A and B are shown apart, each in its own frame.
Chain A
Amino acid sequence: MMKFGIFYELSVPRPFSRANEWLTYHNALEQCRVADELGFDHVWTVEHHFLEEYSHCPAPEVFLTAVAAQTQRIRVGHGAVVCVPEMNNPIRVAERAAALDIISNGRLELGTARSSTWTELGGFCADPDDTKKTWDEFCRVIPQMWTDDDFGWEGARFEMPARNVIPKPFQEPHPPMWVTVTTPGTELDAAERGLGCLGVSAAPFAEQERRTKEYYRRVANCDPVGSFVNDQVHTLNFLYCHEDYRQAAALGLPMVGAFSMSNAHLYFTREAYPTRAYQTLGNAGAALRSRGTANGSTPADDPSVAKGLPEGVGIGDPDHLVRTIRKWEDVGVTGINFLLNAMEMIPQQQVLDSLRLFATEVIPQFQTADERAARVQAPTTVPEVSSPDGSAHSTMPAGASR
């Protein structure tokens, strides 16, 4: 079954003000509440630092804790934790994620990443040469911290004497783990480790199909870093759904353009720091390639041509979106996460209307009758949990043990 999620960079319009920051965060929280009611499957939130305008979301675990507290069933995607020790100690990642999993009643998905901008890596004085190695090590130690009562590690970039890292996550054996895939090839890193593929850059259908096919081929024989294989492939898209295609395009396409432009204005590591560890320009490079591949005639050096707007963008009327998502489904994608806005360009009411229309007209086209019925169920609560003194009080959701 195709999964549908919403995805937040928390991009803030200039001129920056305390009010704009507040509005961006609180509009997003309201969208999460509505998406939860409408039956969306995931809400994902990035971790970025210093990326003015593009992403004001350095503390996704805080935002997601608020989401968890204000919603009932939507899964909270910590997507993704930057696995660079100058930014995050892996012990703290495991601890925070476990706490968030408990707070959310077992709804956490943990994404991992390594950052692609010099703005971020340089700001933390992190060595770009090392990020792939530290990411790999984080991916291996975090699930062990969640499941081992006496965990110690002596690795290449991280070590610790044996401790019991607590609390343990609510989900057993642990939350699903993912890798954000910005540059081509990272999907293979995900597959080899049994991690879900969380696409965060645009690729045309043919390219996505090629990557997805190879991902599935490799993940089938992987050596998982966690206790189980997460073999889902999600892609990132934009969403603006309106009954009138022209109105959808009129509001949605400028949002896509503004977001893509703000992305292109990031200072990517490869541009600032020659290294083997960053072979492409991240999202911007991917968008450029997709454009060139799509029409084959765009001069690579023409500055008047905007990058991006690859095929398969989720802007349009419900029928168009159903057809578009079918194509994503056909190339092996199991989930689509949507950016709903950029720099608050689309008024909040229209964002919510778009979400509701999509949930009413589009999502059901990808569900069986049983799945539709399951989505409208109230959150499941089960057995009472006994306190140490034997008195019964709180209830525990059924998903506690998988």
Chain B
Amino acid sequence: MISGTAAVDELAAGAPEIAAFGTESVRLGGVTGLSLVAELRRPAREAVLPPGLHPIVPPAMSLLAWDVSESPWGAFSAAFVRVVCRSGARARTFCVGAAASTDDAVAGLRSQFGFPAQRTHVALRRHYDGVDLTVAPAGESDNGASVGHGAGPMLELSALDPDPLSVGDLQHVGSMNLAHTPLGLRLVQVETHHEPSRVERLAARIDAFDAAAWGQPLLDPYWVVSCSVSLEDVEIPAIRFVCDPALPAAEGTERVQ
């Protein structure tokens, strides 16, 4: 069994801070969600994960994007770049980078759930025959969170030819977010619950991906596996488990509520 080899100290630089674990879930209403899986090249397999997580074969990236109509943080758009992994025997993703279009969303995602969100321009546009997603730097944010590097887009993708699926055909995998918590530096397990009313699968193409801007230059999503779009409500429950990033889940898991 292989484990991540990334230096936890280096991953911790810039990790969000969760001052106190919340007890309330956050509900996102009227969400257009995009989910894309792409295979990564081999050098990224172990090198991007902390020792407490295990890569899969082949290494893969899971991109999630939301356009949210209603939330405690107002309307916003967000995108999450995640590496598919295992925590113990569980299917998970490790969130390498995140972007959100408003300061309130950035603050909420960082402080409540440990997503390494930065303020950016995020545009998820759904058309009758497809979807476009653009993530681009948006300048300095109010809370001081760092912003994408360079002048080009951090991400551009387009997807065409929606093919309807049943709502149960789409599986979502939880996210492990590295954050400074009251228990110390921990992988925070975020399990989103999705209530889709419509799911479509599309053929997608990644037109631009600035790995460094997402905080992990080794990411190279060279082979798109699948792309889907859903109309859904999303609940982000309060955090229940955290894991020591340096230990296997069987040894390093703590229940926080």
Give the B-binding residues of A (Cβ under 8 A): 14, 50-53, 118-119, 122-123, 258, 260-262, 264-268, 270-276, 279, 281, 284, 288, 299, 301-308
Contacts and interface: CB of A to CB of B under 8 A. Distances in A.
Interface residues of B, number: 42
Nearest to B56: A267
Contact of A304 (B54, B165, B225, B250): B250
A304 B253 contact: yes
Interface string B33-51: 0010101000000000000
Q: Which 4 pairs, one residue from A and one from B, show the smallest C-beta to C-beta distance?
A: A304-B253, A264-B89, A303-B249, A303-B87
B57 A119 contact: yes
A273 B1 contact: no
A240 to B, nearest CB: 20
Interface of B: 1-2, 35, 37, 39, 54, 56-58, 60, 84, 86-92, 165-166, 168-171, 173-174, 189, 191, 199, 201, 225-226, 228, 240-241, 243, 249-253, 255
A274 B39 contact: no
Nearest to B165: A274
A3 to B, nearest CB: 31
B91 A271 contact: yes
Given A264-B91, A301-B189, 12 more contacts: A258-B1, A264-B88, A267-B60, A271-B84, A272-B37, A273-B37, A274-B199, A301-B174, A301-B240, A302-B255, A303-B87, A304-B243
Contacts of B250: 304, 306
Nearest to A268: B91
Q: Is the interface of B mostly helix, strand, loop or mixed?
A: strand
Contacts of B241: 301-304
Contacts of A53: 1-2
17 contacts: A14-B1, A50-B57, A119-B56, A122-B39, A267-B56, A268-B91, A273-B37, A273-B226, A275-B201, A281-B91, A301-B189, A301-B240, A303-B88, A303-B89, A304-B241, A304-B250, A304-B251
B165 A276 contact: yes
Contacts of A264: 86, 88-91
Contacts of B243: 303-304
B56 A266 contact: yes
Contacts of A271: 84, 91, 171, 173
A118 B38 CA distance: 12
A265 B226 contact: no
B253 A272 contact: no
A306 B248 CA distance: 11
B89 A260 contact: yes
B192 to A, nearest CB: 11
A52 B57 CA distance: 7
B188 to A, nearest CB: 12
A299 B58 CA distance: 28
B169 to A, nearest CB: 5
Contact of A272 (B60, B88, B166, B189): B60
Contacts of A270: 171
Given A261-B1, A274-B226, A276-B165, A301 B171 contact: no
B225 A273 contact: yes
Contacts of A284: 89, 91
A270 B168 CA distance: 11
A397 B255 CA distance: 63
B201 A265 contact: no
Nearest to A53: B1
Contacts of A273: 37, 225-226
A318 B86 CA distance: 36
A265 B37 contact: no
